[in-house]
Each structure stands twice: as structure tokens, then as C-alpha cells.
Amino acid sequence: MDDRHPPLRSFGRIKSRPIKPRQAALMDSLLPQIRCPDTPFDPKSLKPDAREVWLEIGFGGGEHMAAQAARARDVLILGAEPFQNGVASALRHIDEAGLGNVRLWDGDVREMIARLPDGCLDRVFILFPDPWPKARHHKRRLVSAEMLVELARVLKPGGRLRFATDWADYADWTLERIIASPAFAWQAERADDWRTPPADHVTTRYEEKKLGDCAPVFLEAVRI
């Protein structure tokens, strides 16, 4: 195998506690119906009447994704999450809200992005990803120069990227890479632009736990 192209690997836990029976049933029944293809695909083929296509990377338990999908049922939302308990939780939210505009990838988002055509997304959310705070683990962070190149490829010109974290070092890390990227323009004009949650932000239970070392930071960038 070529060492320059190592296999993709998700460093987070894939599964922790047993999945509840109802959610396990949805993993067997609903997930196969709404799973993203494992071959190259155009998202619009999944919902041809979609006004826009959004992607949430690492949707956790699916609260934010489901809330956004319920607010904008004319938008197709793709969600990627390798953590199986999170996928099971998201399926419950999707089922309870009767959401027909969500498609899931229960694996590494990089696998899915590689199958997407250029300029097919209008928005990308990366909300409170694992900060990997130890310096020796920084290479495991989702946000990297390489990831921004891939996101720039699949985002339309004018498409938006939203990143949020409650770890100060990860906020600095991400901002450095956004500013260094020739494909993105940071949108902040004053401190409140990164300190205040965007008007359409949905606060989740994870965010409310305040597990980080700072108040949430919200970075908005536009694909140039």
C-alpha cells in the first residue's frame, strides 16, 4: 500500500453503550432507506426538488441536524457520523419528526465527500467536534488544510461553512487555517460575530454541558 495515501480512520469511539431496542430497530429499518450511496452520487438525485443541500459533519446525537431539517423541509441535509450510538439517536429524531429531507452516512465523512461532485453543497456545519486537546493528537483534528481543500471543492461559490467549538485552542487552530486558505473568507467584523450564536443556531444538550475551556466560538466563512 502506498504510504502517501493511508486508509481513512475515525479516531473517536464507534460505539459505547448498547443501543436501545427502538433505535436498534430503526438502524435495521430506516437507516437503509436514507443512507447515502456508497458510490459517487449527486445529492440532488436524492431529492430533486431540494432548494439547497447542506452537510453536517459529526452530527452527534442528531439534535441540531433534525431541528434544521424540520425548519427547512425544502432543503436536503446530509449528515455524517461514525459513532453508531449517535446515528441511532439521530434516526429517532428523524422518525419522530417525520423528516423526509435527511440522508445519513454512518461512517467517516471523508469517504462521503470523496464521492460528491464539485460545487454541490450550499452549507457545511462542523459543530463542536472532538478537540483532541493534547498536542500529540492535534493531527487527529477534523479541521485541517487538507479538509478545507475538500470542502472548498464541494461547496458552491458563496457557500457557507460554520464551525463552532468551546475549546479556545481549537478555535485559534481553525481560524488560522481558514485565514490561510485561498478558498475561504472569514466573515467576522466585530467580536460579537464570533461570540454570539448565529440567529439560526440550535443549541444541543452537548453544548449545554459546557465541557470545553471557553464560551462557544462561532466561525463563519464563505467559499470565495
Give catalytic residues, as residue numbers: 130
Is 170 annotated to bind ligand? no
Hey, is 8 helix, strand or coil?
Answer: coil
Is 52 annotated to bind ligand? no
Is 81 annotated to bind ligand? yes
Amino acid at 210: K
CA 155 to chain centre: 13
CA 141 to chain centre: 13
Amino acid at 81: E
Is 205 annotated to bind ligand? yes
Strand 184-186 to 217-223 pairing? antiparallel
Is 17 annotated to bind ligand? no
Strand 184-186 to 155-165 pairing? unpaired
Is 95 annotated to bind ligand? no
Is 134 annotated to bind ligand? yes
Nearest one of 150, 72, 163 to 116, comparing CA atoms? 150
* Cα 37-89-116 angle, rounded to 5 deg: 25
Is 204 annotated to bind ligand? yes
Is 207 annotated to bind ligand? yes
Q: Per this entry, what is the length of the chain?
A: 224
Is 136 annotated to bind ligand? no
Q: How far apart are CA 15 and CA 181, in angstroms?
A: 34
Q: Which three cell numbers stand for residue 223?
A: 467559499
As a whole number of Å, the end-to-end CA separation of the chain is 36
From the annotation, which residues make up the binding site for S-adenosyl-L-methionine?
A: 56, 81, 108, 130
